[in-house]
Amino acid sequence: MHQISDVCQTMNESHNELFQMKTRRDFIKISALGLGAAALTAGASKMGMGFPLLGSENEPGSEENTLRRVPTYCEVCFWKCAGWAHVTEDGNIIKITGNDDDPQCNGRLCPRGTGGVGMFNDPDRLKTPLIRVVKDGEQTYREASWEEALSLIASKMSDLRSKYGPESMALFMHGAPGTHFSHLLKAYGTLNLAAPSFAQCRGPRDVGFEATFGESVSSPEVTDIRDTRCLVLIGSHIGENMHNGQVQEMSQAIDNGAVIITVDPRLSTAASKSKYWLPIKPSTDIALLLSWIHVLIYDDLYNKEYVSTYAEGFDELKAYVKKFTPEWAYGITTLKPDLIRNTAREMANAAPSVIIHPGRHAAWYGDDVQRSRAMAILNALLGSWGNRGGFFFKEGIKLPEFPHPEYPKPAWTWKDLLNGKYPMANEAPTNLVIESSIPTGDQEAKIKGWIVAGTNLISAIPLKEELSKAMQSLELLVVVDTMPMEITGYADVVLPECTYLERYDDIRATSHREPTLCLRMPAVEAKNQTKPAWWIAKQLGERLGLGAYFNYTDFSEVLDWQLKQVGSSLDEMKRIGVKKLSRESSPYLEPGTSHTFKTASGKIQLYSHELAEAGFDPLPAFTKHPEPEEGFYRLIYGRAPMHTFSRTANNPNLVALMPENSVWINPQVAKIWGIKKDQYVWLKNQDGAVSNFAVKVRITERIRWDSVYIVHGFGHHHKPLHFAYGRGVNDTELITNVMMDPIMGGTGMRGNFITFLTEDPGKEVEA
């Protein structure tokens, strides 16, 4: 047992150590401490859990009967499928299966969810709090107790609060831990809370749909793929992005004989299942969308009744698209006019059971809100929003907040940092928070401290230089993660979170076809010194004098209280895992009745007054984007079904399925370069950025000759990630040209071009 004075003593020492490092925050590899230094095979041997094997003396599967089944919902991606962790008597999780009652997965997890065991078993997991110190003139981490780490952070946050105000703290978050730290920081007095899921991902899409229909497509998306007769995918690669419910429904749509139209410069998996694949020239999507709108209007194929009842601005739209004929689009997109007309007719034939899918990662070329607007307008002309087989109206249940004092009102928020930029940003763009953490001239930075929870900014953010400058300027950088991701190497304090299988989190209260509640609870005790995010936030809150916001001993009390307010209980949820509630409203527009859309006028905005007033095109315009110079190829990136961003790259089970990414090269291009199958090459972009590692070549007819393709999330350069280190390339290190969306601050990332280096450029890798 520590004496309190001992703890204070240690705390002060750490505090001083921290202050000595104002000048530069060196990248520290956690492996220097000998933590997590397991051999590559450790994962395999750890998997030997005495499960009965066939032909052994046991009856096959006899141990199955003694397994405990604990409800959870997945945290390997944002879809959050509900499932069961199967736990042996001695406390090992041997498998995870889906919960049959969850409409988001229907009892079937995706490979990442099934592979969630690997996240739990990963020998490289963070194990104990770490504090940055100077030892023999070098920065390093030393292991610390929770008491010491938490007190150090709280004391530093108190300092920042009194020196600069609580608004000087910001949060970067992804997934479940984000909600706990959001609560902490709101109580502390800041609303500078940012997630890469906005500016780097779905933000442009959501803003484009909100400007048109008054609401976004949400997550999970309100796409009625199950009952659609025509599904149009524009760069969205369902099946490679493993958004479980959508993958399942696309399969149902195939069974039902739905027409699938896929627009993609690459023969994606979805494209290979499509009746029409439109191998578009990259960056010309808006031209195609405008010509589709032209055909629907000028060939009289649009849904007149729907448009006249629910939409406004049709005349302006009609006049505007007059010149955007398929012949015009052909010269831009390289898609034949007949193909454009035929596919428009297919959509009209299926309408209103048709979905122009808005995709998810939409930050491509900086005009992404406008592209999303064009998709939304197409949907409106086809009458798909609010109709079966198009987009349904979601319904959910809102759990009341566990009682706490009102949050203080911050003196300023991220919105005050905009200075007229990004007028339609309705969530904080990460890039804005990053820029605001860098001092300019004699101006102090507005943001002085970060908590980063569950997101590896090093892989997520393309603006490397700004990110680096910001991290060097901060007075406090705390990283909370389960794994020693690259971002942990820049932290002053690293806090090891336990995995989703070892913790309570908020109830998943989902709005979708039907309202659902799902429980995540600890299946086993947390490994090592790891702790759940709710506990970390509460401990910090108490040390900051915010105990009243955390008026419970265990988070289960919060959940039980919340569940009881809506007629359930923690006990009930522990038994069933998922509770489906019945809808009260219709999921579709009722024929003959009016409907008020959540726009300013209550009507669908074909012509956007909101955009016009903010100084943007009220109707989407096609803009020509830069093209590769000779010897360079457009860098297109995407997803693989067995990995989630960079966060699964070290999961031993998922590494076994896909250990590295490869660069897809058209055979003609490979021939010119003399590049052979499976050869390793380095990639260099238009600004001279060179990949940290070499990447394996995949020569395939599935990619255009003017583009290359890589799966995002590989090329980790942090050695403590033993399975992931040095495998493949990280696309974001080659994305130095960022095309900002002026409407909401999205970081368009598809304007980068790479060339091949067949000899080792001898790049020094910070590892």
654 touches another protein by CB under 8 A = yes
- Point out which span in 8-16, 305-313, 471-479, 695-703 binds another protein (CB under 8 A): 695-703
Q: Is 103 in the site for another protein (CB under 8 A)?
A: no
Residue 53 binds another protein (CB under 8 A): yes
Can residue 273 be called a binding residue for another protein (CB under 8 A)?
yes
What lies within 8 Å, CB to CB, of 274 at 6+ separation is 233, 260, 261, 262
Which position among 14, 168, 216, 248 is part of the footprint of another protein (CB under 8 A)? 248
Question: With respect to another protein, which residue has the nearer C-beta, 43 or 203?
Answer: 43
Question: Which of 212, 244, 599, 648 is close enough to bind another protein by CB under 8 A?
Answer: 244
Q: Is residue 125 within the footprint of another protein (CB under 8 A)? A: no
Rg (CA), the chain: 26
Task: For another protein, give the closer residue by CB, 180 or 704.
Answer: 704
670 near another protein, judged by CB under 8 A: no
Please state, in angstroms and as integers, the Cα–Cα distance from residue 2 to each residue in 6, 10, 199, 541, following that order: 6, 11, 45, 22
- Indicate whether 496 belongs to the interface with another protein (CB under 8 A): no
279 belongs to the binding site for another protein (CB under 8 A)? yes
Contact call for residue 262 and another protein (CB under 8 A): no
From candidates 25, 29, 80, 108, binder to another protein by CB under 8 A: 108
Host H or E run for residue 542: helix 533-543
83 binds another protein (CB under 8 A): no
CB burial class (10 A; 0-12, 13-18, 19+) of residue 527?
middle
| 370, 620 Cβ separation under 8 angstroms | yes
Which two structure tokens, joined as six digits, stand for 73? 């919902």
Q: Is 204 near another protein (CB under 8 A)?
A: no
Nearest to 108 by CA among 7, 226, 242, 12: 242
Q: Verify binding: residue 647, another protein, rule CB under 8 A.
A: no
Q: Which stretch binds another protein (CB under 8 A): 109-117, 281-289, 452-460, 626-634?
A: 109-117
Please give the Cα distance from 568 to 557 (Å, whole number). Answer: 13
Q: Which listed residue (9, 272, 349, 596) binds another protein by CB under 8 A?
A: 272
Q: Which helix (H) or strand (E) covers residue 263, if one does?
A: strand 259-263
- Using CB under 8 A, which of the segments 93-101, 164-172, 358-366, 588-596 binds another protein? 93-101
Find all residues with CB under 8 Å of 281, minimum gap 6, and list them.
265, 332, 333, 334, 704, 706
Binds another protein (CB under 8 A): choice among 6, 60, 256, 601: 60
Q: Which is nearer to another protein, 123 or 175 (CB)?
A: 123
Select from 31, 128, 568, 653 the one that contacts another protein (CB under 8 A).
653
Q: Which residues of 632-645 are buried (b: 16+ CB within 10 A; e: fewer)?
A: bbbbbbbbbbbbbb
Our CB check for another protein shows the closer of 125 and 183 to be: 125
Nearest distance, CB of residue 118 and another protein, angstroms: 9
Angle between helices 337-350 and 285-298 (to 10 degrees): 60
Asked if 115 interacts with another protein (CB under 8 A), we say yes
Three-state secondary-structure class, residue 385: strand
**All residues at 6 or more sequence positions from 180 whose CB lies less than 8 Å from its CB, including other chains:** 453, 505, 533, 534, 536, 537
**692 lies in the binding site for another protein (CB under 8 A):** no
User: Before 220, cis peptide (omega within 30)?
Assistant: yes
Is residue 257 a contact point for another protein (CB under 8 A)? Answer: no
Count of residues that bind another protein according to CB under 8 A: 61
Alpha helix (H) residue ranges in 273-334: 285-298, 304-310, 314-321, 326-333
DSSP E strands: which ranges in 625-764?
633-638, 662-665, 680-685, 695-699, 707-711, 739-740, 747-748, 753-757
- How far is residue 762's CA from residue 215's CA, in Å, rounded to a whole number? 50
Residue with Cβ nearer another protein (276 or 298): 276
Q: Are strands 138-143 and 130-135 parallel, antiparallel or unpaired?
A: antiparallel
Q: Which is nearer to another protein, 187 or 703 (CB)?
A: 703
Give which of 478, 414, 423 is closest to 446, Cα–Cα: 414
Beta pairing partners, 697: 663
Q: Does 251 bind another protein (CB under 8 A)?
A: yes
Closer residue to another protein in complex, CB, 85/232:
85
Smallest distance from another protein to CB 362, Å: 22
Per-residue DSSP letters for 181-218? HHHHHHHHT---EE-HHIIIIIHHHHHHHHHHHSS--T
Closest approach of Cβ 279 to another protein, in Å?
Answer: 4
SS3 (DSSP) at 102: coil
- State the nearest-atom distance from the C-beta of 640 to another protein, in Å: 9
66 binds another protein (CB under 8 A): no
Binding of another protein by 117 (CB under 8 A): yes
Q: Is residue 47 a contact point for another protein (CB under 8 A)?
A: yes
Binder to another protein among 642, 665, 675, 740 (CB under 8 A)?
642
641 belongs to the binding site for another protein (CB under 8 A): yes
Q: Does 48 bind another protein (CB under 8 A)?
A: yes
| Orientation angle between helical segments 533-543 and 176-188, nearest 10 degrees | 10
In the bound state with another protein, the residue whose beta carbon lies nearer, of 410 and 641, is 641
Residue entry with tokens 């709090």: 129
Check binding of 38 to another protein (CB under 8 A): no
Site string for another protein, 474-493 (x = CB under 8 A): --------------------
Segment contacting another protein (CB under 8 A): 174-182, 196-204, 246-254, 412-420?
Answer: 246-254
346: closest CA among 296, 280, 291?
296
* CB-CB contact of 598 with 305 (8 Å): no
Pick the binder of another protein from 702, 757, 758, 767 (CB under 8 A): 702
Judged by the rule CB under 8 A, the positions of this chain that interact with another protein are 43-44, 47-49, 51, 53-56, 59-61, 64, 94-98, 105, 107-111, 114-115, 117, 239-240, 242, 244, 247-248, 250-252, 254-255, 267, 269-270, 272-273, 277, 279, 641-642, 652-654, 656-658, 666, 700-705
